[in-house]
Structure 1
Amino acid sequence: MTNRRELLRLLAASAPAVAGIGLWPSTLLAQAEGAGLIAANVCHLTPELTEGPFYMDPHLVRSDIREDRGGVPMTMRMQVVTADCRPIKGARVDLWHCDAQGNYSGFANQGSRSTRGETFLRGTQISGDGGEVAFQTIFPGWYRGRTTHIHFKVILGRDEALTGQIFFPDSLSQYVFENASQYGRSAEQDTTNADDWIAIEAGEGAYASVSDRSDGYDASLVVAVDYASDHAAYETPHPQRELMRA
């Protein structure tokens, strides 16, 4: 039976081709599942990436973050684990991304419109025993200068443990943008994964594993954070309770 250390070595040696979708050997997928992982795309600590200009904390603990945004439905599952792939309970995960037309909620001066005061495609979840969270959302759109991506933060206790981004195969993004009417634009996407310096810095481990479903996609990512302790549950402050105290 493959132990966690050996599993990590095998995953590191078998990074998928990022042009495809979930291109992992079936044996490794089975071993990852047997180790309690929701995906096989973890081989080292997840790199810290730029937060970007559109983060805010609306104190919205919810799994469905779509609100009124149209687009291809997608469930984004994330699993927060230690460097040796042990799930972390009680991790707070904030997730946010742009809509099908490339707009973020909560900010003015985005092309032709302002979204100030809006909260679409933002939310927070607290991980359970398996370190997992899940967000009901849409496949993200694009905006000039960036490839398709989703932002996230992992907060352990009162400390921010990681800020990162999630990426998708270019072939999938192109298919969605060309075939789903909500993503129709007068311009074409100007940046791909190979041209985006943040995606290049993040590496293969930041690409979601994606599978089809009847009405859209299921995406999964394992996020490994630097957590040296006895694996006890974190006492992560609840965002809504913290807001009430403020």
Structure 2
Amino acid sequence: MSSSSLSRRALLSAFAATPLVTTGIGAFPATARAEAEGAGLITPNVCMIAPETTAGPYYLDPGLVRQDIREDRAGAPMTIALQVVQPDCTPIGNARVDVWHCDALGNYSGHARQGSDPTSDTSGETFLRGTQFTDATGTVRFLTIYPGWYRGRTTHVHYMIHLDGDRALTSQMFFPGALSAYLYRYAEPYSDRPAEQDTTNDRDGIARRVGKGAFAQVREMEDGYHAALVVGIGT
């Protein structure tokens, strides 16, 4: 392995271990952002190698190759950028990335008996689901809303990565707890729910197991929030 590959691998390890990823919004210093940019990464938030998690709940493959997955769902606008790389930072192009998550009220599309409301039936619906293929930098982007919550889980987005037609990784990305708490209390339609979120990041077993590198860097922009995560994957 070349020295440049070793240095990039060390950089990934350093970013993945930083405590900043779970504590705030865009909290990385300029030096870390510059190092990430120099390595061809979209953010210092790195999950190396991204841990496998359960595909549930409610994975479907409706075959919707699209960037805007919102459909009719209301909520705080958010762009998700996922960059798929090898452990030495080399981007993986043309990887298929599926994402899915619940709406502001905690409901997924395409299923009955939701975790937030067992009487809700969204069978046949496809909101907040979509597929993109990574570009030459290993990156995909989705236009969506900030996810809500449902009983027993903290705020998260599911993603599945396929390489050469085979599933290579199923995992989840997580978000700063302070931002979730703010939106759920003060922003509609999140604040319309009568109950309060019952599981935060530090109480969620999956979030604790996958670690700090699975938390997105979230920045507030004029048109909404921007969440970015670099996913290291063994090929």
Normalising by structure 2, report the TM-score: 0.92
Partner of 1:131: 138
Structure 1: tracts of 5 or more residues without a match: 228-246
CA contact (8 A) 2:51 2:171 kept: yes
Identical aligned pairs, as a percentage? 57
1: CA distance between counterparts of 2:18 and 2:228? 17
Q: Does 1:113 align with 2:117?
A: no
Shift of 1:190: 0.3
Shift of 1:148: 0.4
2: CA distance between counterparts of 1:47 and 1:129? 24
CA contact (8 A) 2:18 2:212 kept: no
CA contact (8 A) 1:75 1:219 kept: yes
Aligned alpha-carbon RMSD (Å):
1.5
Partner of 1:70: 74
Normalising by structure 1, report the TM-score: 0.88
Opposite residue 198 of structure 2, the aligned amino acid is D
CA contact (8 A) 1:80 1:223 kept: yes
Q: Does 1:158 align with 2:165?
A: yes
2: CA distance between counterparts of 1:144 and 1:9? 33
Change (3 A) 1:81 1:118: same
Structure 2: tracts of 5 or more residues without a match: none
Could you report, residue by residue, the CA deviation over 1:164-214 in whole angstroms, capped at 9, with x for unpaired residues? Answer: 001001100011111211112010000000000000001000000000112
Q: What SS does structure 2 have at the residue aligned with 1:100?
A: coil
Partner of 1:174: 181
Runs of 4+ in 1 over 4 A off after TM superposition: none
Partner of 1:22: 26
Partner of 2:35: 31
Opposite residue 112 of structure 2, the aligned amino acid is A
Aligned counterpart for 2:65 among listed residues 61, 70, 74: 61
Q: What SS does structure 1 have at the residue aligned with 2:158?
A: strand
Aligned counterpart for 2:150 among listed residues 128, 143, 164: 143
Q: Which shows bigger deviation, 206-215 or 65-74?
A: 206-215
